Structure 1
Amino acid sequence: MAQVQDRIDRALVRGQINVIVWLGGAALLLALTAALVETMLHLAVHGHAPSFPEAFWQSLVRTIDPGQITDDHAGFAIVGLVITIIGLLLITTLISLVNNRIERRVEGIRRGRDPIPPRADHIVLLGWSDIGSKVIEEFAESGISSELVDMVVLANHSVADMRHELQENDDLGPRGAHWPVLRSGTTWDTRDLRRLASIATSRAVVILDDNTTDGLANTVKTVMAIVAACDGPSHDRQAHEHPTIVIEVLGETNDLVDPLRRRLARFGFRIVTVDSLALRTELAAQVSRRAGLSQVFQEILNFSGEELYLMEAPPEVATFGQAVTALRDRVSIGTIDAAGGQVNLWPHWATPLAGSSLILIASNEAAAASTDGIDMAAPPLEGGRPSCCERPLETQHLLVVGWNSGAVHLLEVLDQYAGEGSSVTVVTSDPVEPGPLKLESFGDQRFICPTIGVQAWLDLERDHFDHAIVLADDAVSPAASDASAFVTLLSLRPAGDIHGNPTTVVAQLRQRENKHLARQSLADDLVVGDAVTATTLAQLAMNPDLEHVLHDILGDTPYTIELVANPYLGRTSSVSFEQITTAIALHGEIALGWIKTDGTLKLSPHKDERIAHTDLQQIVVFTRLRRTS
């Protein structure tokens, strides 16, 4: 008897399913026992002695429906009463357990602790921060047509809070109410990664920095947890067998991140890093040169319009110059070596495409890879791209207001785009010691900490600056940093002619929602840190091979995007994008699109599409800058 009791106890503690099976078995056993008694004693049911199957059925019905007892008489009434009492205990317990299991299931889903069904080739976002909603917004636009990418979010946050934030995102609309799958857990717990994110079968994993002092340490732990969850490290695994890991880092972390990347690459893990601080700085340097460049970079980086793709060239397209003219509905800007990953953003027109992939700007992945829209009759561009046609650097006088951890890198990048004889003036509220700067063009460098305060100095300053950059303050909260930027912008753009207004004004903002508070009358371009980081993380998760392409376009390299004034002023007819492409190619440059007089940007228009001369304001070109001698 003790052994039976022990077996029953062990069965009960194994889970609710076991208990339900035991209760169901007990109900059947009760009905069988009662049927045997009724058959052996010939107890009458409804006036006649039942057969064994009928007695079993009548007994089983009474365990479920106690109302049947009112029809029982004589000896069967006693048996029916016993069956009904015991059956009520069994069935009510069974119903209670089933109900409890359903409630636990619902609670698990609500809390985000319910294991996800098996899935593959999905995107996993680990961690949650201010940019979490924006990252998901970008992935929402990355699908083909209206189809959403399969995505799972695992973070040490409440699922209800994350879902509420997604529903508050107007750009997500109703999609935020049911997509993506949200789970709450620890990002460096291998059990959570397996149960709640199915990490090993995912396509890519994006790790967000948690904005704490241990942010980098937590990121490294998360990476190692992913490796362990994928049954690594193992030397016999290839890169395509593991998900790509895209991590957000803040500032100089190369001493830890670079060795991590190199060493895990030996085990088939590919890690792509996005330095949000450097990215914000490099983009600010790019857009400060020309008003309107911000919308061009935003269009290329995000998924809502035209973006970058890497695709094999059609077999009939032999050279890069032929790709520029023959591909009618996309724009070729460079090549990347298929074997070594070497990026070439300035190939000669006669460069053969064998063994290389094209770097394209297209509306979506399907358009980039399409075999349609190819006109082999279009005359190809031939020969080289002479260096004499490279666009010369302009002498400029730059004003920088504020200082942060990326300011030195900003000045060094800006120096690459400034001509000889340029100057830079940095105004800060506290004295700064930038150390030795690697500046060649900014021969005149002034660092000013006015005793009357930065805002008062700006009100009194009468010198003219070509460009002004208002830096975000990383030492205060995002709200306080943006508030200070707004006040500074008001000083840089006052009414009247007595002030030496900068030609272009660019501001760094830390909160995306604040960009609507600084209209174009205050700043020509805004660099919103979280939006830039979010779009880049999403782009690299979907296409990690773009890592070096984006670095060469945004970093301190001679390659850049320029806005060329309408060369057709005074004419009243129209011009096709093919004609624009051919004309721009005479300077060794590639036409990317145009900006209309109403400010509308169009990248990668069809080569046959025409625009009226009176509607054309600027041509967007991809070019290479050179220093004047």
Structure 2
Amino acid sequence: MKTGSDWRARLRYEFDKSMAGGAIALIGWLALISLIVIMLAGAFLAVTGIAPEGGEPVSFIEGTWESLMRTFDAGTMGGDQGWGFRGVALVVTIAGIFVFSALIGVISSGLENKLDELRKGRSRILESDHTIILNWSPSIFDVISELVIANQSRRRPRIIIMANRDKVEMEDEIATKVEDLKNTKIICRSGDPTDLYDLNIVNPQTSRSIIVLSPDGEDPDSQVIKSVLALVNDPNRRTQPYMIAAEIRDAQNADVARIVGGREMQMVLADDLISRIVVHTSRQSGLSAVYSELLDFDGCEIYTLEQPDLVGKSFAAAVMTYENSTLIGLCDAKGQVQLNPAPNRVFQAGERAIIIAEDDASIRPWTGDIHLAKDAILPVVKQKPVAERTLILGWNRRGPIIATELARYVAPGSSLTIAASTPQFQADIEALRIAKDTMTVAHRVIDTSSRLALEALDIPGFDHVLVLGYSDDMPAQSADTRTLITLLQLRKIAERAGRHISVVSEMIDVRNRELAEVTRADDFVVSNKLVSLMLAQASENEYMAAIFDELLNEEGSEIYMRPMADYVAIDRPVNFFTVALAALRRGEVAIGYRRQRDDDPDTRNLGGVTVNPLRSEMLTYTDRDMVIVLAAD
């Protein structure tokens, strides 16, 4: 048998449950209280016969209506006559004031809670054909900027961002650091990119592509791999494959990432990509501008598309087919990328051409005359490789990769000196495994921003100098500041020695590049920018990661800058068709040139580099000009 206290506890429990329903439940209780007061007042007036002075007694319906009007508007009772009727009206009015003031508070609170909920960015996205960016890193602003350029030809483009950050903070930072979004709309959502429920908020099932950035913090690769795993193995995922571009920092995690992502994922090995470009650029000044031109959407890009006109043609003949585009390779029926294949390799039906062009709509065979100055083509002169002395100033996690990569390209008998001062420096040097007959390695623990320490290294005696940022031990801006100081010291040393020192520097933040121009270094490799460009391109072109893996692999064809005077006679104007034929005779593909003229404007900061020039244009070259080729060695 239940006692009174049990019933009270049960009623209190049921009331608490109803209150948990939020604003709707509160409005329901207030409406019920109001209804009870109105009906009781109506019944009381009908039973007692109380009426306004000089008026007739009212029925239950009429009494209820009179009570309702006084509940809605306290001023209604101002004209009431008779103290009995006034007393009933006063009670009803006070109850109405209580109910409506409480109702206003409930509605206000409900709206505030709803706005807070919207501010949290937890509502589901209902877009389609959108690009999703998962995680937050300093690279995100460059990724967005590139996607904005790529989206200009699309109708209603959308970029959806999800990260473990406040939605409003993300939107404010993007608005501050991305100058012009053009026709692209950015939508931010807060959530965990490794959680299946949160991923459904950004609606990957209808997405165009997905970019998974490497987040800041410990073990970022595991976060990236888990996000890809959640996308690929979602029980409710779409049947057609996703197009995922994922950033992985440590090459040791590459195999696991490939297993998880399979054919749906293009993997960008960030540290590997930067290290290889740093090595290539250190040996060939201006090369970073070529990579930037190929990777950004502002200028020429790499396209992979079928070209029926090339079927049955040899690769050499196909290269000479275009006037405003540059054929550099093909993608076979199995999806394997082949850059600079054998000249007699014949295009088969269904194979894709890999072409550098301003726009895919501009890719069409040349129907005009090809004027070749065959007498201007020079014979091949083999040059013996010579040993090189290289100096690395500064150190970070990419240092060991750079040193190992450098050993693959230098001639036997070369030497490498590394000078830095970081906690991990000594252990990293001891862990290097480089054959001494190929390249000897020496190291010095010094302050690389000190003039005295740098002068003791005899810097003018080195063939190449690389300056790395202390990005592992300092914030990006502090690391770049340290790099700038080192570059200024090197400039002063070069001026005192009265000779040019070949210097290539790694920068973390692209905004510091303009400041670094005053140091007169030969080239700058901007780490975050290159990774961002690569991720953006991979999200638009499913073969991009494989193409750049081939470009940066010493076993495949790579980009080189070589003297134009070794290819064609420079005593007369020649067109680029002639330069392209000279390169083909060497088993190479000419993709551009570098002409440095004082009167030529360099609006895009490419150091005189032109990729994919018009091949019919007649130009005169000098012994300072370089041809940019894709070659096996």
Q: Taking structure 2 as the reference length, what is the TM-score of the superposition?
A: 0.77
Q: Which residue of 2 aligns with 1:312?
A: 306
Q: Which residue of 2 aligns with 1:231?
A: 235
Question: How does 1:135-284 map onto structure 2 within 5 Å?
Answer: 135-145=143-153, 149-169=157-177, 172-173=178-179, 175=181, 179-195=185-201, 197-227=202-232, 230-231=234-235, 238=239, 240-241=240-241, 243-254=242-253, 257-263=254-260, 265=262, 270-284=264-278
**Is it true that 1:399 corresponds to 2:407 in the alignment?**
no
User: Any conservation in 2 of the 1:126–1:154 contact (CA below 8 Å)?
Assistant: yes
Q: Which residue of 1 aligns with 2:516?
A: 518
The Cα of 1:524 is off from its aligned counterpart by 0.8
Distance 1:12 1:396, change over 3 A: same
Identity of aligned residues (%): 25
What letter is aligned with 2:329? G
Q: How many residues align?
A: 597
Question: How does 1:535-554 map onto structure 2 within 5 Å?
Answer: 535-554=533-552
User: Any conservation in 2 of the 1:140–1:148 contact (CA below 8 Å)?
Assistant: no
Q: Return the index of the structure with the highest Cα Rg.
A: 2
User: Any conservation in 1 of the 2:124–2:200 contact (CA below 8 Å)?
Assistant: no
Distance 1:358 1:117, change over 3 A: same
User: Any conservation in 1 of the 2:583–2:629 contact (CA below 8 Å)?
Assistant: no
Deviations 1:530-570 (A, max 9, x none): 11222222222232321111111123334222334455887
For 1:198 and 1:42, how far apart are their aligned partners in 2? 65
For 1:323 and 1:72, how far apart are their aligned partners in 2? 99
Q: Which residue of 1 aligns with 2:455?
A: 459
Deviations 1:221-267 (A, max 9, x none): 43344346x327x9xx75x34x334332223423xx413422553xx
Distance 1:337 1:378, change over 3 A: farther
Deviations 1:106-137 (A, max 9, x none): 22333x33313322332222222333333333
For 1:521 and 1:161, how far apart are their aligned partners in 2? 36
Match of 1:95 among 98, 104, 115: 104
Deviations 1:347-406 (A, max 9, x none): 52552142211212233xxx32x376443566699xxxxxx9698674352322244443
Distance 1:69 1:421, change over 3 A: same
Question: How does 1:27-46 map onto structure 2 within 5 Å?
Answer: none
Listed as ranges, the gaps of 5+ residues in structure 2 are: 1-6, 373-378, 601-606
**Is it true that 1:447 corresponds to 2:442 in the alignment?**
yes
Q: Which residue of 1 aligns with 2:346?
A: 351
What letter is aligned with 1:494? K
What letter is aligned with 2:454? L
Deviations 1:454-480 (A, max 9, x none): 854531416633322123335521445
User: Any conservation in 2 of the 1:334–1:347 contact (CA below 8 Å)?
Assistant: no
What letter is aligned with 1:623? L
Deviations 1:401-448 (A, max 9, x none): 244443343234334443455444444556532543258xx7352414
**Greater displacement, 449-458 / 516-525:** 449-458
Q: Which residue of 2 aligns with 1:337?
A: 332
For 1:61 and 1:551, how far apart are their aligned partners in 2? 79
User: Any conservation in 2 of the 1:261–1:270 contact (CA below 8 Å)?
Assistant: no
Deviations 1:268-315 (A, max 9, x none): x72332222111110101111222211111111222322222222245
Q: Which residue of 2 aligns with 1:130?
A: 138
User: What SS class does the counterpart of residue 187 from structure 1 fall into?
Assistant: coil
Deviations 1:315-347 (A, max 9, x none): 576534454344444322111124343434425
Question: How does 1:607-626 map onto structure 2 within 5 Å?
Answer: 607=615, 610=617, 612-613=619-620, 618=625, 620-626=627-633
**Greater displacement, 269-278 / 413-422:** 413-422
What letter is aligned with 1:591? A
Distance 1:445 1:9, change over 3 A: closer
User: What SS class does the counterpart of residue 168 from structure 1 fall into?
Assistant: helix
For 2:609 and 2:211, how far apart are their aligned partners in 1? 30
What letter is aligned with 2:285? A
For 1:348 and 1:189, how far apart are their aligned partners in 2? 50
The Cα of 1:214 is off from its aligned counterpart by 3.1
Q: Which residue of 2 aligns with 1:385?
A: none
For 1:456 and 1:353, how far apart are their aligned partners in 2? 62
Distance 1:422 1:341, change over 3 A: same
For 2:628 and 2:102, how far apart are their aligned partners in 1? 74
What letter is aligned with 2:203? S
Distance 1:476 1:87, change over 3 A: same
What letter is aligned with 1:473? Y
Q: Which residue of 2 aligns with 1:115?
A: 123
For 2:575 and 2:266, how far apart are their aligned partners in 1? 39
The Cα of 1:31 is off from its aligned counterpart by 8.3
What letter is aligned with 1:182? C
User: What SS class does the counterpart of residue 180 from structure 1 fall into?
Assistant: strand
For 1:396 and 1:244, how far apart are their aligned partners in 2? 44
User: Any conservation in 2 of the 1:391–1:625 contact (CA below 8 Å)?
Assistant: no
User: What SS class does the counterpart of residue 142 from structure 1 fall into?
Assistant: helix
For 1:332 and 1:58, how far apart are their aligned partners in 2? 88
User: Any conservation in 2 of the 1:62–1:84 contact (CA below 8 Å)?
Assistant: yes
Distance 1:356 1:437, change over 3 A: same
Q: Which residue of 1 aligns with 2:468?
A: 471
For 1:51 and 1:581, how far apart are their aligned partners in 2? 104
Distance 1:59 1:412, change over 3 A: same
Distance 1:531 1:13, change over 3 A: same
Q: Which residue of 2 aligns with 1:414?
A: 406
Distance 1:17 1:434, change over 3 A: same
User: What SS class does the counterpart of residue 274 from structure 1 fall into?
Assistant: strand
For 2:500 and 2:287, how far apart are their aligned partners in 1? 16
Question: How does 1:477-626 map onto structure 2 within 5 Å?
Answer: 477=474, 478-494=476-492, 499=497, 501=499, 503-519=501-517, 521-565=519-563, 577-578=576-577, 580-582=579-581, 584-596=583-595, 597=597, 598=600, 599-607=607-615, 610=617, 612-613=619-620, 618=625, 620-626=627-633
Deviations 1:122-175 (A, max 9, x none): 222222233333333333333134867422222222334433432332xx2154
User: Any conservation in 2 of the 1:595–1:616 contact (CA below 8 Å)?
Assistant: no
What letter is aligned with 2:506? Q
Match of 1:433 among 430, 433, 438: 430
Listed as ranges, the gaps of 5+ residues in structure 1 are: 382-387
**Greater displacement, 516-525 / 63-72:** 63-72
For 1:421 and 1:444, how far apart are their aligned partners in 2? 6
For 2:608 and 2:123, how far apart are their aligned partners in 1? 46
Deviations 1:71-126 (A, max 9, x none): 6678998887666555444444443333223222322333x333133223322222
User: Any conservation in 2 of the 1:124–1:153 contact (CA below 8 Å)?
Assistant: yes
User: Any conservation in 2 of the 1:416–1:558 contact (CA below 8 Å)?
Assistant: no
The Cα of 1:593 is off from its aligned counterpart by 3.3
The Cα of 1:28 is off from its aligned counterpart by 8.3
Distance 1:280 1:324, change over 3 A: same
